[in-house]
Homo-oligomer: A and B are copies of this chain.
Amino acid sequence: MKNVKVKCLLLIKNGTLVDAFGTIRADILIENGHIIDVKKGISEKADEGIDASGKIIVPGFVNMHNHLPMSLLRNNAEGKTLGKWLNEDIFPAERRMDEEDMYLGSYIGMAESLSAGITTTNSVYLEKSHLGGKAADELNARAFLSCDEPKEDGEEELKSALKFNERIRGYRMARPVMASHSVYSCKKENLILKKEYAKQNSLRYHIHMSETRKEIFHSIRNFRMRPVEYAESIGLLDKNTILAHAGWVTKREIGIIAKKKSVVVNNPVSNLKLATGGIMPLEQYREAGARITLGTDGPASNNSINMLETMKFSSLMQKHRYWNASLGNPKEILGYATYEGAKALGLKAGKLEKGYLADLAIIDPKINMVPLGDIYTSLVFSCNNSNIDTVIVDGKISFENGKVRNFDGKKARMFLERADALISGSS
């Protein structure tokens, strides 16, 4: 076993390490997927070395809300609001998708994620999307996968999710999450059944919440409560619950979420694109002490999988919303995009420190990020995908020299063929 251990020592020299807790110049030593040392002048003999002189190292981004297979459906059916877009285009195309399609969509979506410095993705989709776990293993990217496909019968819906999760457990890089679609689309007993199962089995529970104003009207009409109040009333909220969007909320609802220690995911690009009209009151969540994370939402309503862009939008929309240029602090924003996301998923990652998972991105500032000045500002406002130099997941290089290391071009061609067929309805 000792020989095996020595074989996976990776040493990154002379980088500028930046995480939500501070900045230092140091070397990073990695073994068996973990950071085992962080200090200047590490002299250990490593099997693989990276010279990060002049470069910045950040924890890998954690994309907390995505629908990976929807990469198949992007750049079509544009310019529609959420409801029309779902009913007229997305749902019919999804009904035509089989397991292989969803695998190809996940594969391309995860490869794009790696090229953008994203090391962990939380993706929720239909029952047939379980091969996303296979894509995660092949590409060496971390994936938290869940099935939120609603069914009439609660037991049946739970059974379908459990079967999905069982399959996910078969993959090295994937972890299962329990998920309901939303309080407006799922029956009360189904919601409770799934959340109760998640509680008893220590699973994260993911649900869409208060994305549009229409959902608020629906909730008040049907439950005589706002969506977050309703979710609390039936026991959906605790520290393992992840609420995607939660943009249309009252101060009282923000207070509930903070008290329950549930996690919110801000998806600014998707919200703007679908014209939901709301800007998530991230600053009020922060003041209330709520747990904030960031996501891209699915690639069909964005239309990219890009956490650098998401950080910039997240900060700028807060400055705009409150007419206050000091809000959307870039150091905190970086924390939401890395450490807070990892913590929400129960991963010891998002921090460049001994004992943490070796999930990180090496960034080349080139000429577009300089002068670095306040390095958090440079990362959030000046950095773009062309600055992503190397991406390491679980201690192994997944992206370098502008290429995803294990990428299979044949799959890209199959993906394009299938995307064409799905959109044209010929399959």
- Residue numbers of A with Cβ under 8 A of B are 72, 74-76, 78-81, 85, 108, 111-112, 115-116, 269, 271-275, 277, 279, 299, 302-306, 309, 312, 316-317, 319-320, 322-327, 329-330, 366-375, 377-378, 381-382, 384-386, 388, 402, 412, 415-416, 419-420, 423
| A75–B371 CB distance below 8 A | yes
| B317–A272 CB distance below 8 A | yes
By a CB distance below 8 angstroms, the chain B residues around A326 are: 79-80
Contact pick for A78, options B274, B306, B330, B416, CB 8 Å: B330
How far is A382 from B368 in the complex, measured between Cα atoms in Å? Answer: 20
Q: Which of A85, A316, A327, A420 neighbours the largest number of chain B CB atoms within 10 Å of its CB? A: A316
Q: When A and B form their complex, which 9 residue pairs have the shortest distance between CB atoms, in order from nearest? A: A75-B373, A371-B419, A275-B325, A272-B316, A79-B326, A76-B373, A303-B381, A385-B386, A275-B319
A277-B323, A317-B272, A323-B277 known; A304+B370 contact, CB < 8 A: no
By a CB distance below 8 angstroms, the chain B residues around A312 are: 309
How far is A232 from B85 in the complex, measured between Cα atoms in Å? Answer: 44
| A381–B304 CB distance below 8 A | yes
By a CB distance below 8 angstroms, the chain B residues around A373 are: 74-76, 78, 419, 423
By a CB distance below 8 angstroms, the chain B residues around A377 are: 75-76, 78, 303
A416-B371, A419-B370 known; A382+B75 contact, CB < 8 A: yes
A303-B378, A368-B304, A371-B75 known; A277+B80 contact, CB < 8 A: no
Q: List 24 A-B contacts (CB under 8 A).
A: A75-B375, A75-B381, A76-B371, A85-B325, A115-B367, A272-B316, A273-B325, A274-B319, A274-B325, A275-B319, A275-B322, A275-B324, A275-B327, A277-B323, A299-B382, A303-B377, A304-B381, A304-B384, A306-B368, A309-B384, A370-B412, A371-B420, A384-B385, A385-B386
Taking A76-B373, A303-B382 as known contacts, 8 extra A-B pairs with beta carbons closer than 8 A to each other, sorted by chain A number, are A75-B378, A76-B374, A79-B327, A115-B367, A272-B316, A272-B319, A273-B316, A373-B423
